[in-house]
Structure 1
Amino acid sequence: MGTGGRAALGLAATAQKSKLTLDPPWSTVFLKESVILTCSGSRFTAKRYTWYHDDKALRTHTSSHRIGKADQSHAGRYRCVAPGSRQSDPVQLTISDEWLILQAPYYAVFEGDPLRLRCYGWKGAEVSGIRYYRDGAEVPQFRERSELSMEKATTRDSGRYKCTGSMRSPLIYHEKTSPEVFVSIQEIFSTPVLRASGSADPTEGNPVTLSCITQLNPQKSDTPLQSIFYKDSETVRASGSFPEYHIPAVRLEDSGSYHCVMQTMSSSVQKPSSKLTIAVKRIPVSRVSLGVHPLGGQVVEGERLVLTCSVAEGMEPFTFSWHRQGSRQALKSEIQHSQRAVYEIPVATENDTGEYYCTVTSGNTRALSPGVKVAVKVPVSPPLLTINVTGTWSTVGDMVEIRCESSRSSAPILYRFYHEGAILGSSTVSSRGPGSLALHVTSEGDAGTYSCETDNGMANSSQRSAPFHLSVLVPVSEATIVADPTGLEVRAGGSLNLSCLLESGTTPRFKWIHNNQELAMASEFGPPTAVGNTLHFWSVQLSHGGNYQCIASNQLSPQRVFQAPSEILAITVIEDASPQVAVTGTISFLCLMGVTAALVFYFKPWKKADGRFFNAQGRDPGRPAQHEAPGQRLPPRESRDPQAEEPSYGNVCPLEQESGDVVYTVVNIKKRNGDKPKGASPSDNEEYCVTYSVLADSKPTGDSAAGARAPEGGSEPRNDIYENVPHL
């Protein structure tokens, strides 16, 4: 049989047995009465059930089988099978046409359970003067009742029952007797038997185990039992679930008469065992002991170990032998005419760890000492801390294992784990080997420095590992597109910013999709322009309409890439042929230029960046490399209009000013040609037009604006970079 067949058999063997119940709950009913049979089983919800009547399958496939008007054809044995369960125990149904019947439970009754019998007349007719009999003897009742109830049935209540009573038919009363019904009260468990391991006449000092043995009824195999042990009618062990009483080393006073009592957890059923006599024999050699130095058996490697064997009673000469558990041969044997002998190990090593005992022999009698545990302790070596991550990085949601191990140390070893100097947890190993701690990475707060400490209980033996710095990557999530200005309709010629916002994510990268195609990086002279998480449209064209989607991503390794796509945002571009709208757009553009000029003048006092440079937002040089979208390069100097204003440069300072990268904004500002209005001051006539604004590459090339300010061969800018310096 294959593995699949064995697995199927295993499942069938452990399946729950189906349960068949009757309503009304009696095994005998009258003709024409209705009976409902119900089948229940495991938690499976399948609807197909199987029913059997005298081993013949019925057509019923639901959980209930109804007998509307019972006749003799309905009598017999019923069984059912619920989905996912084994076949139920059989239930015998009897159909009677007698005047008087005795109704008994259809189910098995166990000792300790309540028992209910009912004397029932034809079609519910009134019955008076009811009496009950068991095996021909009347069962006494305090008062006349139609039911005979026993609160706790015993096996002595088993027997053949019947009832008698008077029934009126039609004008006179007739004495009626029901047919006999056999009622069996089953045992939950058998009468226990007390047995002793080995001989019932043990020698003093030997171990003895008394076992209280019983057998559960198969239908009650899951019933928990308790055992109580008595010696000379006094309790020596109170109720417990373990049916054994263990005496490690019997003494003379342990002799006596023992018995046990097995009972259910509720104590509703109790059964005592027969008595067992234990007679302990005394031996001439007795009370052998083994002493150890240093006291307690705790020896530091290299120290001297002394084992002293002593005997209190016996006849000389004595033969002393020293033994270690697991070794067949004695470590040493010698004959002494004294009650004391010594075995010495000059230089103890870790291999001397173990449990020792000694024996004393006199004539044909022999005695053993109790075992003494000796531990040769080795100080712990500096531990090594490892974390099963990719390099030094982990991702939120990972379950990582922190392992700490000392290459040489005595067990048991206590490992303590620390995060940023605070205790994180501990692990104790009973044998040489690593300790470990599972860490569920839930947030960036789990990043930081981890270390571990080992200790095996020896003085000044604590050792600390080297630190391990763990970095945590938060996967991108919940990308959302936000339009500025808001709304799904944009007029041609206006400006538009689409920003991709994230709920969370470390060093995200952004990709824009327009009408199911990836949006290529715009040229340096035309929109749209992707800057970080924002897509800029300086002048919206009709071709810019359509569906937009942003996809944010970050990665821990080439095999672990996380993406967060946004929902699709539909943008409609409306063509605007109205001159009034064109004028309004021009005014809005001029207002934007005014704001730009104001920002230029606002940054003028901070001309020098004082040697401070800042990272782009969320950037950490120690994290996995982020490939940002390349920035626009400036057109060659010779291609520019010599009359045009020079571009001004400025640092864009992100929120996290402690980082080290710089993102540069390049702005080309030109004066507009035009006459001064009359009465206008010189400053009022300076109108500026922003031709374009782009973001330089985070890894600039040699001819980019940022690259012009970076030191040769280095990634950081030089300290001669200036913030926004306008050309006035």
Structure 2
Amino acid sequence: MDSRPPNLLLVLLQLTSVIHFCQCARGQSLYTIDTVGLTILPSSPVASGTPVILRCEVSVSHHPSLHLTHIFQFLRYDVPVHSLTTSDTAVEYEINPARAADSGSYECQVTVEEKKKESFVQALTVEGLQSPILNLSKTTLYESEELIATCSAPNEKGALIFRFHQKLRSGAIEVIKQVGPSGNSSETKLVLRKVGDSVLSCNYNIPMIPDAGHSNFSNEVQVIVKGLYISPVMNVIPSTNVYEGDIIEVVCSVVSPTRNVEVYLTKDKSILKQKPVSLSHRMTVQAGDSGELVCKAEWNSVQKENYVTLSVKELFSKPQLTLSLMDIFEGERFTLSCSVTIYSPERISNETIQYSIYRNGVQLIQMDTYSTVASPSQNGNYTCKAAATTLRNNFLVKASETFVVKAKVPVSEPMVSVVGDRLVLGKPFLVHCLSETGSLPITYTLYGPDRQPDVKVVSRPGDKAIFSTPAVQKSSDIPKFLCHARNNVFTQPMISSGHRLEQRTKIIEPVSKPALIVQPNFGYVSEGQDLTLECSVARGTLPVNFTWYHTETQGSLATQTPTGPKGSHIIKGVRGEHSGGYYCESNNQANEVKRSSTVTIGVKWAAWKKGLIAVLCILLIGGLLFFIASKKDVLPFMRKRTGGLSVKSASTKTERLSLTLAEANETANVTPGVMGRSVWSEHVSGSESDDQNSVASPERPEPQYTEVQTKQADPCAVPVMKGTETVYSEVRNSKQEVPEEANGGSVEYVQMNHDTDRHSHHSHHSNHSHHSNHGEQNGHADDTINSSDTNAIDPGDCAV
């Protein structure tokens, strides 16, 4: 029989054990807390002093192989009160005996390994408080004497608040003291102020358990409070109603003294005298001694008092020191007077009063008046005293209040100045008035040209009298500003000097518009020359800053600060780029920039450049003439060529067959009759039948063009006329005449500067206007050669 299945079962069991061991090794949970229960025995509520058991039980499901440990913890109001570690599933916590302080909400918390669980909250109520016990240090005592009382509840728990009560013979109960939380016992000092028999007791409550209420009263202790007869007796001799200067005696004593009794005489909380058992105090009363006298007897903490009101009448008033002037200025005479008012003429007269006046505690005079001239040495604290002898031969002295005399200093001549010591004509400025000496307040008044007076009052040290002043245009107006200073309405004001203002002030006149002058001043300057730009101003405080600008460049050319009102800037070696506009700007300490007018400068070529161009032109013309002269032999042949200009018929009567344009200078053999005008030569038939035949001919012959041979003029002859001669040659066909040439007859037109044809050749001549003007400046008429006439005479063919 095969044994594999049993072996397989064994292997599985071993594998299960290994897996379980591994799981335990990895800390995996093989338990769970099912329930936690809390039970209070006996059930709540319970009476105070009853033993109470709190039972906590836990139920845990776990693997049989585990041995678990349970941590039990009992909590009251979430505060632990008892804990225990055990493997048991139930524990008990006993409260024996249970008191009111044990009341509260309880719960049980169980911790197993890493798991925790709490029970439901259970309430425990313990009813009833223990009756306290009262103990006193003494039961017989004097009124206000201290005793020590102790109230305790030894079986109670927690912080207790104790109260002490006194029950009088009338049955009324008063709380005489309450002590703060201090455990289950309290000791304190009590003071019983009511004389007679009384009963003391105490009780308590627990503030943490307000529902528990107050405890019953403690045992009652009877005490006897004796009266303390130490009340003093006080007498004032001769009377409590006296006159100032009288001598009185105050007697204060205890009739039935006990040991350690002290007697005090006080007035206005000031101790006049202190003695054991009794005292006597003698004094001369003053007007200020009226009031309440207090005689006080003291034994330990017990005090008894007696009061007497003292009334002191004044014989005369307190001296009063008066000044003859309200404000005293140095150099003025003033008088101090001392006086009193008599209240009791039956006991004193004015003749019996003696006066003395003091300064700084030193007697000045034994009179009621003192007169002197104010000066710094007379300043000080003045007082006066009045002394009198009463009918009872009592000597009485009274002093006045201190009177401070400080003579004012007259205001000095004010110094007027411009704020900043700098004034720009045409701009507003500030004026400052200041007197070096003078008592405040000082009133300053500023006067100026064309303005209303302005007033400033300086009342505090550090304040300044500064006036805002409109602009002035002339420096001559500066001395007209005057400042008046006054601090005494009974004297004339001090007046400043306007010339000092002018001397102390730097007056700045803004610059006028600058003028720019250039040298040379023709408006043009040749290249290579120096150009001087001179800028000047007619008015303005020196020094003046001049700045030059060129309109064609950015920035300034130069800046100069000369010692005078004129500055200059030189441009060395003027070039073409220096042409254009120039201007300058002027400015001084007034910071008002003024700009000149713009001057335009043109730059001409230098002389050597003009000479070079002239030489180049001569060389060019010479080369051209040389070229024309070299072509001289070709010109006759070119004149024999037919140069035709095709034109259409001008009318039905006459047809133009050919037009030849030739220009030549008039020679000496030209007929004078035709100089300066146009001559036309036309060969036609003697009647108009030619025209008619020409029109009626069905076939008009085509125009024939030929060259008209004219007499060649000497090209080298000097012309005798100015202007241009134009020769037109036209050949027409005629029935009456046969042309000499094979191509037909010829008609010759000659025009010489004719007025009727000027308009038709205007455009041609306009193209040569510049050349013609140049020719006119040389005194010769230019020859105009038609571009279509190949027979035109070239002046280059003439020998120079």
Q: Fold match, TM over 0.5?
A: no
TM-score (norm 1): 0.29
